[in-house]
Structure 1
Amino acid sequence: MKKFALLTIGFETPTPEIMSAWKAWFDSLKDNIIHQVGLRSGLEVSAAGTKDLPLGLDSVTGVMIISAASLDDAERMAQTNPFISSIRVYEVMER
């Protein structure tokens, strides 16, 4: 199995329906989840300086490392996500 990083994008104030949908999605992937974290407000640091990154529809709000046979399989798992804006899927390169 390969490893993939799923980056969840977008934030809105959670409702009970949103929380229920996310719990069901996490439960559906529990056998594939290696690690999972949620993210809060952050900073973007660049040569131009540092700026705040408040939570909004374009924010990265979570990172999950999953196991999947292929990028296509990881994509299928991501498609079932109750995303706010989108979800990005990247293959993890081991060193």
Structure 2
Amino acid sequence: MTKFVFAYHGGPKSMTPEEGKAHMGKWMAWMESLGDAVVDRGLPVGKSKTVGPGGVTDDGGSNPLSGFTIVQADSIDAAVEMAKQSPHVDAGGTIEVAPAMDMPM
């Protein structure tokens, strides 16, 4: 099986405490539904800085990262099917799915 990174972008801008609790419940149910495919549940991330050849910006780029998860699947298409079920998408976010490349270090 290949490992895939789910890179979360965007998502809800603000939620009431009740909406946040409901969203977290959906998130946990989705994670549980993935079972052993989840290698690392990951975590959300805060506001980022982007380092580039022109210096450092405080905006996180054109599509800032909001979190990540690592899963394993037989193919990228199978990983995409997992990502499509995420409540992050229902909340207006997007998920970038990319294979994790094994490299000897």
Q: TM > 0.5 between the two? A: yes
1:93 and 2:101 matched: yes
The offset of 1:81, in angstroms, is 0.7
1:7 and 2:26 matched: no
Deviation digits for residues 67-95 of structure 1, max 9, x if unmatched? 10111110110010112321110011101
Alignment-derived partner of residue 38 in structure 1: 44
Supply the RMSD in Å over aligned alpha carbons: 1.6
The offset of 1:17, in angstroms, is 2.0
Q: For the structure 1 residues 30 and 62, does the alpha-carbon distance in structure 2 shift closer, same or farther, using more than 3 Å as the test? A: farther
- Is the helix fraction higher in 1 or 2? 2
Which one is further off, 66-75 or 15-24?
15-24
Amino acid at match of 1:51: T
> Counterpart of 1:26 in 2: which secondary structure?
helix
- Is the strand fraction higher in 1 or 2? 1
Unaligned 5+ runs, structure 1? none
Unaligned 5+ runs, structure 2? none
Q: 1:69 aligns with which of 53, 68, 74?
A: 74
> Counterpart of 1:23 in 2: which secondary structure?
helix
How far apart, CA to CA, are the structure 2 residues paired with 1:5 and 1:63?
7
The offset of 1:53, in angstroms, is 3.1
TM-score by length of 1: 0.84
> Counterpart of 1:3 in 2: which secondary structure?
strand
> Counterpart of 1:29 in 2: which secondary structure?
helix
1:18 and 2:23 matched: yes
